[in-house]
Amino acid sequence: MHNPDYYLPVLFVLLMGLSMLIYAVLDGYDLGVGMLMPFAAATERDTMIASIGPFWDANETWLVLGVGLLLVAFPKAHGIVLGGLYLPVAMMLLGLILRGVAFDFRAKARVERKALWDTLFSAGSFIAAITQGYMLGRYITGFDNGPTAVAFACVSALCMTAAYILIGANWLIMKTSTSLQLKAVRWARYALPLTCLGLLSVSVINPLVSDRIMTKWFTWPTVLYLAPLPIACCTLLYALHRQLASLPKAQDRHSWVPFALSMSIFTLAFFGLAFSFYPYVVPDRLTIWEAASATESLALIGLGVVVVVPAILAYTLFSYWVFRGKSNKLTYY
């Protein structure tokens, strides 16, 4: 257990997983806000952009970190994963680039052109969300190209998009007020059932595609130890449903609760997936230790990680602290 050959790959896969979880939550909500923009009035879109403006670009840093760790710490897995997902990865990058360009040009466009850049920003958000959901579905099925696996990947794409819309709407509930907040509550209510469907489909398909995962989850007494995880997830989903049904409240009480519940649900779902796939970094093909770089390389990479990751985390926490509270009218100086 104290052998560096054992624990260094585990530490790196934990860090990579943490990076992807933080990305899914943080960039998930601003992708969701982008996808909701076509359903808002022009003045409301300004407020929506203002709510994510200080954060959205930095949120993508966690994606870069996660993919970078996959490349340098698990190069064999990097080749298999990105090789199997080449086209959706390219489409995701196209969507993220389109978002970035549209966001910057929107700030400088004349009023009559702003709607065009809003549309492109929303389109980029949809492309990025759909491709990420599709890639998750392909990963869960072990990159199987059969029609059933592809169909599941398409369902995963749809449900992941709904999950991002849900967390984006919950972000707007927390960050906005008046009519836009009321719309955000309604959007979240619409997105919640499809998000539940996505969680259910992943929970069902995951053990069906792998006897190993089926054994991990449904053998006694392991099933007893793991029961709190799905029970907690269902409880949080029900609490979110009840909370959305009761909003908005006087003096804006509890407006932060839906977003906090969404983050908790994302986290539990991630831990469920992580438990299912461990110790494989490529499902049922490559373990963490088979895919890892040489121990000496990991040790050297670790020197950079202990500097870079705390810096990114500190900047993220600082920016969210500085720009806490409700979003005001969008202005440029």
**Of 192, 145, 135, 125, whose CA–CA distance to 20 is shortest?**
135
Q: How far is CA 157 from CA 120, 149, 237, in A?
A: 20, 12, 20
What are the tens digits of pLDDT across the range 230-287?
999 999 999 999 999 988 887 788 889 999 999 999 999 999 889 988 899 988 889 9
Query: Distance between terminal CA atoms of the chain?
Result: 56
Q: What is the pLDDT of residue 285?
A: 87
Q: What is the pLDDT of residue 331?
A: 54
Cβ proximity of 205 and 217 under 8 Å: no
- Give the DSSP H/E element, type plus range, for residue 100: helix 86-108
Instruction: Name the token pair of 219.
Output: 């053998």
Find the mean pLDDT for residues 13-41: 93
Tokens 């970190």 belong to residue? 65
pTM for this predicted structure: 0.92
What are the tens digits of pLDDT across the range 42-57?
889 989 999 998 888 8
Residues contacting residue 179 through CB under 8 Å, at least 6 positions apart = 44
What residue segments make up the domains of the chain, in order of their start?
4-322
What are the tens digits of pLDDT across the range 175-190?
998 889 999 999 999 9
Find the mean pLDDT for residues 110-135: 91
Cβ proximity of 62 and 26 under 8 Å: yes
* pLDDT band at residue 129 under the 50/70/90 scheme: very high
